[in-house]
Structure formats: C-alpha cells, structure tokens
C-alpha cells in the first residue's frame, strides 16, 4: 500500500521543481532470505510480547500485507504449534484521499470466523510511510469490532510520517528521501521476493503510482 501514498505526501517541490536526471533502475535493498529472516524475527517478537500469542489475530492490508500476514501466520504456527487466525482488511472505503482521484477498486475484507472482539489484532502491511493507511485501517476496524489491543507489523519503515503512528514490529528501517520509491515485491503477486528502492522515473509516474 505504501506506493499509494506517494500522491498525497509528495510535496510540490519534489514533483514540480526538482530536475530529473534520467531513469535510475530500482535497486534491490532486501532479497528473499532477508525477508524470510525478518518475518521469522517478527513472529518471535509477537510471541514474546503477546506472551504466547493465544489471542492473536493477524489482519493483512491488501494487497501485499495479506501475503505477509499469511507468511507470519505460518511462522507463528511453527513457533506456537497452534493455528493463528489470519484475515484481510481492505481500507479503500476509509481512505482520506478518495476525493483526490477516481474511485479505487475494492479489495477483499475477510475477518476470521471468531471475529476480532477482545482479541489482540496485529495489522500487517508492507511499507509504513505517511501512516494514513494505518489510520484508515484503525477506522475500518472500528466498524468490525472492538479488539483488546491493536499492534502494527510492517516489513519496511521508510519514515516521513504525517500522523502520530508508529510500528510495533519493523522488519527494517530504510531511511529514504521523499523522491525515492520503495516497492515490496512478493512471490505470491510478483516474480520474486525483494524490496526495491528507486528514484522516481519521472515526476508524473510518481503521482500515478
């Protein structure tokens, strides 16, 4: 979801005034083994902080957050020996930038059978950027039930928060400039597992992403 934020958080100077010096290919800063190790560590941290993860529900934010949540659920099951409920939470209808573009296609919201009331919900997303996706997710969850607590796990924290939101579990902090793009690719959706860091190919393309 992180790439979706580019349009709302990019200051004018980055799009209008900065000269652009040719297309730099996006470079992979994290590869598949790095991602696997980070997810394993996050899974252990969740078990540690939740004291066994008995009441944990993982909710991924489409698209790639859902795949990450499923991978985390598998790792948690390996560690605790229990199946961890995993679902998806589409935030499209709760976005604060809906009026800034054409209507967006909806993704699936799929809450595990037992619901989220009284549970420890861990939201999972690929990139934490402005924090607006997470605000929308908190609003969306409000209409679905009342969790005991909500925590946030992200693969990459790229900084530049616009809201007082922070992640409880971070795969890797990657300091970026606002002009750079961070793209997470996962085998479920793309060709391979990796995190790509790139300069925007052109100002217009950044806004489209």
Q: Which residues bind another protein (CB under 8 A)?
A: 3-4, 63, 90, 93-94, 98-109, 139, 143-145, 189, 208-209
Question: Residue 60 CB, nearest distance to another protein (Å)?
Answer: 14
Which C-beta is closer to another protein: that of 45 or that of 190?
A: 190
Q: Tell me the C-alpha distance between 101 and 92, whole Å.
A: 12
Q: Sign of dihedral through CA atoms 103, 165, 38, 177? A: positive
Torsion angles phi and psi, residue 86, rounded to 5: -135, 140
Which C-beta is closer to another protein: that of 67 or that of 169?
A: 67
Which C-beta is closer to another protein: that of 24 or that of 205?
A: 205
Q: Tell me the C-alpha distance between 25 and 121, whole Å.
A: 37
For helices 32-49 and 64-80, angle between their N-to-C axes, nearest 10 degrees = 60
Question: Residue 48 CB, nearest distance to another protein (Å)?
Answer: 32
Question: Residue 102 CB, nearest distance to another protein (Å)?
Answer: 4
Torsion angles phi and psi, residue 87, rounded to 5: -145, -170
Question: Residue 101 CB, nearest distance to another protein (Å)?
Answer: 6
Which C-beta is closer to another protein: that of 54 or that of 202?
A: 202
Which C-beta is closer to another protein: that of 46 or that of 194?
A: 194
Q: Could you tell me the strand order of the sheet in which 86-88 lies? A: 86-88, 56-60, 120-128, 149-157, 169-173
Across-strand partners of 136?
none
Question: Residue 181 CB, nearest distance to another protein (Å)?
Answer: 12
Tokens 């679902």 found at: 87
């Amino acid at each position: 979801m992180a790439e979706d934020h580019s349009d709302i958080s990019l200051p004018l100077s980055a799009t209008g005034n900065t000269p652009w010096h040719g297309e730099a290919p996006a470079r992979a800063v994290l590869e598949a083994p790095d991602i696997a190790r980070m997810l394993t560590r996050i899974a252990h941290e969740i078990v540690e902080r939740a004291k066994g993860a008995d009441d944990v529900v993982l909710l991924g934010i489409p698209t790639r957050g859902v795949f990450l949540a499923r991978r985390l659920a598998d790792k948690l099951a390996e560690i605790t020996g229990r199946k961890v409920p995993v679902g998806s939470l589409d935030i499209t209808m709760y976005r604060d930038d809906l009026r800034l573009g054409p209507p967006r296609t909806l993704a699936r919201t799929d809450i595990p059978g037992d619901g989220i009331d009284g549970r420890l919900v861990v939201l999972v997303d690929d990139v934490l950027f402005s924090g607006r996706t997470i605000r929308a997710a908190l609003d969306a969850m409000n209409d679905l039930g009342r969790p005991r607590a909500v925590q946030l796990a992200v693969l990459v924290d790229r900084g530049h928060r616009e809201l007082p939101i922070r992640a409880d579990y971070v795969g890797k902090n990657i300091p970026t400039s606002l002009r750079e793009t961070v793209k997470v690719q996962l085998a479920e959706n793309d060709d391979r597992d990796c995190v790509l860091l790139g300069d925007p190919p052109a100002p217009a393309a950044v806004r489209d992403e």
